[in-house]
Structures are given as structure tokens and as C-alpha cells.
């Protein structure tokens, strides 16, 4: 059994994939070819956002978004410690300081109440109010922005987050790397903040056959900035450089692959719901594990189907029993960001974010993709329910 079965998907669109890739080889525009613009137009339409700017990865999408806000040393950017390293890595890469905010234990997304506490703590420079990172600058940190993560494909609570952002004059960048296709009160992930960033890493809900990413925004000036920064800070001409940028283009080949995959995507979002619902009903009678919680008005795209075991040893027992049956599982994330060596300079303590620490010890994810068969799911649930 595969954790994510990309072969089943490929089989359905193999001809279209080959056609699209061969077209690129025929026209030869490997850099910024017509497929790149076509993909941007398609995904802008899908999310209902004015500008879609493709780029080389989800990480570069986040980097470009923060660069558009001129994020730099002395800035505080609030985000979750229970996410992939890239979310906070780009903050540190620009010399700014990630300020971690613990998660809601039910959704695993940033907790708006704790977000308010963390912003107050930074503003008053008072770690008694909320755990703060070490600040090596002469001045107190300046709150600048929030990066909520739509973890496992479930959007964060943007109404509450945006109200807090407005009150404190902060920008919001949606990390929708795992959430393309998800919805929040009728709006698509990718349209839920000032800028949204997604990833086309092969394992994401809309994945390519390599790296890729995209930024979404309704802001004309933000879009212009990101379009420029994506190609070495270009001005009106590529040899007129008006700012320092990056080489952040999406390959034409990846755009061609993604266009083929996008033709199946809306149907796959529906199939993912069915797979997730089946898991949850098969596991409903199991009193010792916690199935995913989807609040009213939210639609997850189920990048992961994650369960909470009672404790670390029960998790190991379940993973071991599944492995014996040839069923792969994964742990997202075994180590929250505040205890990662890369962020040692922030000087956080392991106990600073107890919900994240607790989830890291108990969470695990089951095989999840649109083509998972009911029989396989029953087998998985049987193994789990026997423990
Ligand atoms: C995958 C991921 C990223 C980074 O995307 P890449 O395309 O791998 O660079 C960023 N944030 C989150 C939450 C992710 O899951």
C-alpha cells in the first residue's frame, strides 16, 4: 500500500500528461513558456483571486510574500511552531524573528487567543505575558505580520486572525502549502489573506513532478513586486534590475504537468472528502484515538489524515501493527519548530508551547489520496481498532 498513490492518478491522465510535456519540447520555451501563464490564469480563476504568481517552490512563494512586505531585521512575524520548517525558515532567512504561537488542540492551527497574547507580549516587550524568543537587537521587536498555516489541508480561522491583524496593523500571509482546494466559509484557500502561498511539491494536494509554488493576491502593487522579485528584481526589462530578487521561476515543464493534473483536481477534492469521511466513520467507535475535527463552514482538502493516539507508546504500537501489515504511516511533525536546532538562537524552552509539544508526541497520519480503496481503509481501521 502507498502512503500517497501518484501512479493511480497518473494512469487516468497519462495521455494528457504526455501531450502537454511533448508540446513544451516542440515549442522549446522552457523558461516562462505559455503553460506558465495558462496555469496562473487557471488557478487565479479557481481561487477567485486577481493575481496568481507562479514560482519555484512553496518556500520561495513564502519568501517572495515576505519580501513584498519588506520584512527584515527587527521584525516579529507570528506563526505556528507546529508546521514544516519552511514557514518560519523564510522569516529567519530575511533576518526577521519568528515569534511562535501555540495551536488549537482540535484543529492544530494557530490559536487566535494565544496570538493576541503573543502580540501584546511583543508590544510590551514582556515575556511574562507569553513566551517570547530571544531578541539580539538593540530595540524591541516590531510586530509586522502573521503567517497562519492551513495545516493538513484545513484552513486556519481567518475571520478571527484578520480581525486581530487589523487591530494591530499587521499583514497576514496564508501558508496554504497543504491547503490548495480547501475552503473557509465558501472562500477558497489561497484567497483567505493579503497574500497566500501554496506548494506544488509532489505530495501536496495539487502536486507536480518536481518543485513548484504559487503566490495569490488581490493587491496590484504586491503582485507587481512579487513578479519583479521572482526574476532577479527585474524592472521593465530583464537587464534593468530595480531591486535585489531571486531566481524563483516555475519551470514550463512543471506548469505543463500541473495543467494536466488540474483537469482532475476538482473531482479529486471530492474523492478526498469521501476517503476522509470513510476513515472517520470506520474509526468512530474507537474511544482511544481522536479523529480529525472540521469546524462548521470549513472544508479540508485532506493533505493528511491525522489521528491523535492516547500517548507516544500507543502511537508506536499502532504504527508498528500497521507496518507489520504493510501499511505505511508518517508523523507530521515529530519535533515542533521551537525545539529545532536551526532555531536554537531563539532560545525557546521545550515547555513554551505545550499543545504543540503534546501533539508532536501523539499525532500520526494514515495513507491518504483520492484513490484509496474502501477495502484498504477497512483493513487499516481493523488494525487500529484491534490495538
Ligand atoms: C510543503 C510546505 C511548505 C514548503 O513548500 P515547498 O514547495 O516544499 O518549498 C511550506 N509550508 C508548509 C506548511 C508545507 O507543508
Q: Can you tell me the mean pLDDT for 43-64?
A: 98
Do residues 265 and 206 lie in contact, with contact meaning Cβ atoms separated by under 8 Å? yes
Cα(197) to centroid(ligand 1), Å: 9
Cα(319) to centroid(ligand 1), Å: 25
Ligand 1 contacts CB of residue 228 (under 6 A): no
Q: Which CATH number fits domain 6-262: 1.10.3720.10, 3.40.225.10, 3.40.640.10, 3.30.565.10?
A: 3.40.640.10
With cut-offs at 50, 70 and 90, classify the pLDDT of residue 227: very high
Q: Can you tell me the mean pLDDT for 77-83?
A: 98
**Pairing state between β 298-299 and 183-184:** antiparallel
What is the distance between the alpha carbons of residues 172 and 162, in angstroms, rounded to a whole number? Answer: 7
pLDDT of 237 > 90? The answer is no
> Structural domain boundaries of the chain?
6-262, 265-386
Do residues 216 and 196 lie in contact, with contact meaning Cβ atoms separated by under 8 Å? yes
Please, what is the Cα angle at 91 between 98 and 87, to 5 degrees?
85
pLDDT of 238 > 90? The answer is no
Q: How far from 308 is each of 112, 235, 318, CA to CA, in Å?
A: 22, 50, 11
Q: Can you tell me the mean pLDDT for 248-267?
A: 98
Phi first, then psi, for residue 54 (nearest 5°) are -75, 155
Sign of CA dihedral 192, 71, 31, 10: negative
Q: Which of 59, 90, 108 for mutating ligand 1's site (highest number of atoms within 8 Å of CB)?
A: 59
Instruction: Write the DSSP string, 103-150.
Output: BPTTT-SB-HHHHHHHHHHHHTT-TTTS------SSSPPEEEEEE-B-
pLDDT at 239: 87
333 prior amide bond cis, ω within 30: yes
Q: Which of 64, 201, 246, 304 for mutating ligand 1's site (highest number of atoms within 8 Å of CB)?
A: 201
Q: Which fold has domain 265-386?
A: 3.90.1150
Q: What is the CA radius of gyration of the chain?
A: 21
pLDDT at 325: 97
Ligand 1 contacts CB of residue 150 (under 6 A): no
Ligand 1 contacts CB of residue 59 (under 6 A): yes
With cut-offs at 50, 70 and 90, classify the pLDDT of residue 88: very high
pLDDT digit string, tens, across residues 22-45: 999 999 999 999 999 999 999 999
Q: Which of 63, 84, 85, 301 for mutating ligand 1's site (highest number of atoms within 8 Å of CB)?
A: 84
pLDDT digit string, tens, across residues 335-378: 999 999 999 999 999 999 999 999 999 999 999 999 999 999 99
Q: How far from 32 is each of 155, 217, 227, 309, 322, CA to CA, in Å?
A: 31, 20, 12, 46, 45
17's grid cell: 500528461
Amino acid at each position: 500500500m502507498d502512503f500517497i498513490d501518484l501512479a493511480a492518478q497518473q494512469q487516468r491522465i497519462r495521455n494528457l500528461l504526455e501531450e502537454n510535456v511533448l508540446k513544451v519540447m516542440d515549442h522549446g520555451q522552457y523558461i516562462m513558456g505559455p503553460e506558465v501563464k495558462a496555469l496562473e490564469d487557471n488557478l487565479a480563476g479557481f481561487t477567485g483571486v486577481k493575481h496568481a504568481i507562479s514560482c519555484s517552490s512553496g518556500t520561495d512563494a513564502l519568501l517572495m510574500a515576505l519580501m513584498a512586505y519588506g520584512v527584515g531585521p527587527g521584525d516579529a512575524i507570528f506563526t505556528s511552531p507546529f508546521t514544516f520548517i519552511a514557514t518560519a525558515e523564510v522569516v529567519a532567512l530575511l533576518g526577521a524573528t519568528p515569534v511562535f504561537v501555540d495551536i488549537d488542540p482540535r484543529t492544530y492551527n494557530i490559536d487566535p487567543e494565544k496570538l493576541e497574547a503573543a502580540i501584546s507580549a511583543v508590544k510590551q516587550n514582556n515575556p511574562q505575558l507569553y513566551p517570547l524568543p530571544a531578541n539580539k537587537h538593540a530595540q524591541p521587536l516590531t510586530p509586522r505580520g502573521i503567517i497562519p498555516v492551513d495545516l493538513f489541508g484545513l484552513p486556519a480561522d481567518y475571520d478571527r486572525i484578520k480581525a486581530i491583524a487589523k487591530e494591530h496593523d499587521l499583514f497576514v500571509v496564508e501558508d496554504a502549502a497543504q491547503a490548495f482546494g480547501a475552503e473557509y466559509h465558501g472562500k477558497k484557500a489561497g484567497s483567505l489573506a493579503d497574500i497566500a502561498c501554496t506548494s506544488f511539491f509532489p505530495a501536496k494536494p495539487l502536486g507536480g513532478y518536481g518543485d513548484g509554488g504559487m503566490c495569490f493576491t488581490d493587491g496590484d502593487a504586491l503582485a507587481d513586486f512579487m513578479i519583479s522579485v521572482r526574476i532577479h528584481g527585474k524592472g521593465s526589462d530583464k537587464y534593468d534590475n530595480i531591486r535585489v530578487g531571486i531566481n524563483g521561476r516555475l519551470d514550463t515543464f512543471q506548469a505543463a504537468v500541473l495543467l494536466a493534473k488540474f483537469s482532475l483536481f476538482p473531482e479529486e477534492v471530492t474523492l478526498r472528502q469521501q476517503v476522509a469521511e470513510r476513515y472517520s466513520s470506520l474509526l468512530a467507535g474507537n474511544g482511544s484515538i481522536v479523529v480529525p475535527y472540521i469546524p462548521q463552514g470549513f472544508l479540508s482538502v485532506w493533505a493528511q489524515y491525522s489521528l491523535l493516539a492516547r500517548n507516544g507508546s500507543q502511537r508506536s504500537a499502532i504504527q508498528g501493527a500497521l507496518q507489520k501489515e504493510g501499511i505505511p504511516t508518517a508523523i507530521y511533525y515529530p519535533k515542533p519548530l521551537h525545539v529545532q536546532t536551526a532555531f536554537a538562537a531563539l532560545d525557546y524552552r521545550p515547555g513554551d508551547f505545550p499543545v504543540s509539544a503534546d501533539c508532536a508526541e501523539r499525532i500520526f497520519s494514515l495513507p491518504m489520496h483520492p484513490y484509496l480503496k474502501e477495502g484498504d481503509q477497512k483493513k487499516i481501521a481493523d488494525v487500529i481498532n484491534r490495538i
